[in-house]
Amino acid sequence: MEKPYYFTWTKQKEALTLPLDKVEDHYFCYKNKKWINLSSISYQSHFGLQNKAITKAIQKQIEVIPMASPKHIFDLKEKVSQKLLSKLPFSNFKVFYTLSGSEGIENALKMARQVSQRKLVASLENSYHGATMGSLSVTGDWRNKDHIHPRQWSLKIPMPYEDPEGIKLQETIEAYGPKKIAAFCLETVTGGNGVFIHPKAWLKKLNWLCKKYGIFLILDEVVCGAHRTGPFFGLEHFPFLKPDFIVLAKGITGGYFPMGCVLTNKRISQYYQDNTLSCGLTNYAHPIGLAALQAVLKITELKSFHINRKKNEDYLKEWTKNLNNKAGITTRCIGSLAAIEGHNITQQELYDHGIYAPIQSGRIILAPPLTMKINTLKNGLKMVEKIL
Ligand SMILES: Cc1ncc(COP(=O)(O)O)c(C=O)c1O
């Protein structure tokens, strides 16, 4: 029967859905069936579906200041911002809050264009940066084709694995005119579009080109952030990268409240000391989101959290390595994020076997919650292996 609401990213008649009446630990349940959450839903439920610390923090906050009021100064806002920024391997960054990753990208694009007084933003041919018009303009994804955006907004760059030394990267940027490019927007590690871990030489070339031509570097850490790839930020794998903007969302609240943010360096924050920041949202720095973020940051300081996360990462790495080259399968894995391609499994088959994980452009993307117990993860992966 037709539903009174839409399903995202699909023909409504063909929507592949699952019934749900409750969640339990790391499982979605309906009557006596259950599905294991092997993708952290859409890469956001890092801390499980029933995290007591996060829920309690939210409940407590509702009693104190339940609504956003962007102009107000309050302790929680100050403390959480300081704490989040202290996770960075850089100093003198500042945070702008949003309610999603797309809005984080939108605001980074707006600021980069405003500060540089340039229009165009470069990004990878195969990438995902969001679903709003601005973030779509830098997204390289087949679902983009029906949405019109001005051509002068974005320049698409060949994928780094096809150009490991960054030769085409440099040619494309120099042929277009580097002084016309406001920013390069990059997923530090490609998320749902294939878990591509970019070659270091390519990333070094990108960083060098950005500095040489005054192009801002926007790192999209919407998927990578909050320990998805191991360290808190994906960029920590590449210490030579010097971003101007870092966009976070998803895991920073574990999915318990919609929140994203843009971290900006001193050059950007200095500009806005004397120039109007023409960016803002009604629900800017929402206290409930801040409370969830604070709870997440506390969890990420627990030794037990990291012991569990590391155990899972090691297991996932070994498991994907063993699958590699078996029956034409290729895998890529970094931290708690993995892609499996070269199989012929369908989404329905995964669901039928109790696995909740997406198949995007033919790839199974695995992103288990970081708090999942190792035996639960082993059981889930055993089932995926059985289907493969
Ligand atoms: C890398 C990346 N950037 C940005 C976004 C957009 O985030 P949101 O869906 O919260 O707007 C996503 C969403 O999947 C993403 O994967």
Domains of the chain in start order, with CATH, are 53-299 (3.40.640.10)
Verdict on whether the full-model pTM lies above 0.85: yes
Tell me: the pLDDT tens digits for 100-153? Answer: 999 999 999 999 999 999 999 999 999 999 999 889 889 888 777 777 666 668
Instruction: Indicate whether residue 191 lines ligand 1 (CB < 6 A).
Output: yes
More confident residue, 153 or 186: 186
Average pLDDT, the chain: 96
What is the side-by-side order of every strand in the sheet holding 355-356? Answer: 22-24, 27-30, 33-37, 355-356
Instruction: Indicate whether residue 223 lines ligand 1 (CB < 6 A).
Output: yes
pLDDT average, residue stretch 338-362: 96
Instruction: Indicate whether residue 126 lines ligand 1 (CB < 6 A).
Output: no
Q: Which residue, 318, 320, 314, 310, is CA-closest to 363?
A: 320
Instruction: Quote the CA–CA distance of 41 and 356 in Å, as a whole number.
Output: 8
Tell me: the pLDDT tens digits for 355-375? Answer: 999 999 999 999 999 999 999
Instruction: Indicate whether residue 130 lines ligand 1 (CB < 6 A).
Output: yes
Instruction: Indicate whether residue 225 lines ligand 1 (CB < 6 A).
Output: no
Beta strands in the chain (DSSP E): 22-24, 27-30, 33-37, 94-98, 120-124, 154-157, 181-187, 216-220, 245-248, 260-264, 330-334, 337-341, 355-356, 359-360, 363-366
Report whether pLDDT(1) > 90: no
Report whether pLDDT(173) > 90: yes
Query: Cα(101) to centroid of ligand 1, in Å?
Result: 5
Which letter does DSSP use for residue 189 in this model? B
Phi, psi of 343 (to 5 degrees): -110, 175
Give the residue whose CA is nearest to atom 13 of ligand 1. 130
Which of 129, 193, 196 for mutating ligand 1's site (highest number of atoms within 8 Å of CB)?
129
More confident residue, 151 or 174: 174
- Helices (H) and strands (E) counted in the chain, each on its own, are 12, 15
pLDDT average, residue stretch 166-172: 98
> And the tokens for 117?
């007084």
Residue 47's contacts (CB-CB under 8 Å, 6 or more residues apart) are: 53, 54, 254, 296, 299, 369, 370, 371
Instruction: Quote the CA–CA distance of 138 and 105 in Å, as a whole number.
Output: 9
Q: Give 327's pLDDT tier (boundaries 50, 70, 90).
A: confident
pLDDT average, residue stretch 206-230: 98
CB contact at 8 A, 178 and 215 = yes
Tell me: the pLDDT tens digits for 152-162? Answer: 688 999 999 99
Phi, psi of 370 (to 5 degrees): -75, -15
Instruction: Quote the CA–CA distance of 34 and 49 in Å, as a whole number.
Output: 13
Pairing of strands 260-264, 154-157: unpaired
- Residue 137 has a pLDDT of 87
